[in-house]
Structures are given as structure tokens and as C-alpha cells.
Amino acid sequence: MAGLAAEAGVEVVVERPAGEPRDRQEAWLRAMFAYYDRHGLPVGARVLRWLRSSGR
């Protein structure tokens, strides 16, 4: 997410939560954003064109 913000010219502060998640939803959100940090967030016109052309 920080990389996406940097490309947009936006300054961000990344805060990583400490301790155990409070509930199932928080655990899921942490896992989702950790995935995005590792693999990137599929956004933008190129991704949309690919999705449309691949029939997904």
C-alpha cells in the first residue's frame, strides 16, 4: 500500500498492529493487507484491461 501511495505522490505513515487481532474480521484484514504488501495491489487501467480481456 505504501508503494501505491508513493506512486500517487501521497505521504503515508504505515502503522503495523501489535499483538493478537481482536476478532476474526481484524485477523482477515491484517492478512489481506499483508498479502498486498508482499505481492502488490492489482489496480489501475492495465489490470482492468487484463480482467476484461481474460473473461474473468
Domain extents in the chain: 2-53
Q: How far apart are CA 4 and CA 16, in angstroms?
A: 17
Q: How far apart are CA 23 and CA 26, in angstroms?
A: 5
Each residue's pLDDT, cut to its tens digit, for the chain (56 residues) gives 667 777 788 887 777 788 999 999 999 999 988 888 888 776 677 776 777 787 65
Which DSSP letter does residue 47 get? Answer: H
Q: How far apart are CA 12 and CA 6, in angstroms?
A: 8
